[in-house]
Amino acid sequence: MKKAYVIFPTLAMLIFFGYWWSFSSDYEAKQAAIAEKAKQEKIQKLEQEARDREQAIKEAVAAQEERRIEREAKEAQKLKDREERQLAKEASTKAFREKEKLTLQLKRLNEDVQNESAEIAKLEARKELHIQEEAFLRQYVTKAETNQSDLTQVIQKIAAADAAAKAAADAAAAAAKKS
């Protein structure tokens, strides 16, 4: 029995040592494979992250370029709108000044028309007065000419009467001398 105490544990130890040897040789290979696989996965993960980072950088640069283009377009549009507003404001101001100028000109012209109308009315009144005066003078001249011819006839009658009176006085004086 004493041999059984040594043989069975030795045999169990040999079996265990064989099993452990096969496990140990496979285990290190498996662990190395697992470590290699983990290392490869880590490398692939890092490479993927690097590719993703590079892609993200490209996308960020593209997005930044798009934003820059949009910002420039927006600024150009703002500048254009500002210029259009300025031009519209200037046109409005110019139109307002032109309107004021034309309003003042219209007011002056209306005043001139009123002044000229009043002047024309005065001239028409003076013209009417002159026409009436001319008509009066024509009548007066006609009456004066009539009076002159009447006076001429009266003077001729007086001269004829004077001549007749003188002739009668001469005839009476001659008759008195004769007598």
CA 99, 104, 110, 114: dihedral to nearest 10 degrees? Answer: 170
Scan for tokens 């996308």, then name that residue: 59
Which stretches of the chain are DSSP H helices?
2-178
What are the tens digits of pLDDT across the range 119-141? 999 999 999 999 999 999 899 99
Average pLDDT of the residues of the chain: 89
pLDDT confidence of residue 1: 58
pLDDT confidence of residue 112: 93
pLDDT confidence of residue 133: 93
CA 178 vs CA 18, 84, 152, 156: distances in Å = 227, 133, 37, 31
pLDDT confidence of residue 179: 67
What are the tens digits of pLDDT across the range 67-124? 999 999 999 999 999 999 999 999 999 999 999 999 999 999 999 999 999 999 999 9
Rounded Cα–Cα distance for residues 91 and 97 (Å): 10
pLDDT confidence of residue 167: 84
The single-letter code of the amino acid at 139 is Q
pLDDT confidence of residue 24: 75
Residue 2 has pLDDT above 80, yes or no: no
Determine the 3-state secondary structure of 1 from DSSP: coil
Scan for tokens 């001249």, then name that residue: 141
CA 171 vs CA 159, 164, 165, 175: distances in Å = 17, 10, 9, 6
- The set of residues, in sequence order, having a beta carbon less than 8 Å from that of 120 and lying 6+ positions away, is none
Most confident listed range (1-5, 34-38, 104-108, 173-177):
104-108
Determine the 3-state secondary structure of 20 from DSSP: helix
Q: Which two tokens stand for residue 107?
A: 């007011």
Categorise residue 67: left if φ over 0, alpha if ψ from -120 to 50, beta otherwise: alpha
pLDDT confidence of residue 109: 93
Average the pLDDT over 6-30 and give the result: 80
Rounded Cα–Cα distance for residues 3 and 9 (Å): 10
The single-letter code of the amino acid at 34 is I
What are the tens digits of pLDDT across the range 46-58? 999 999 999 999 9
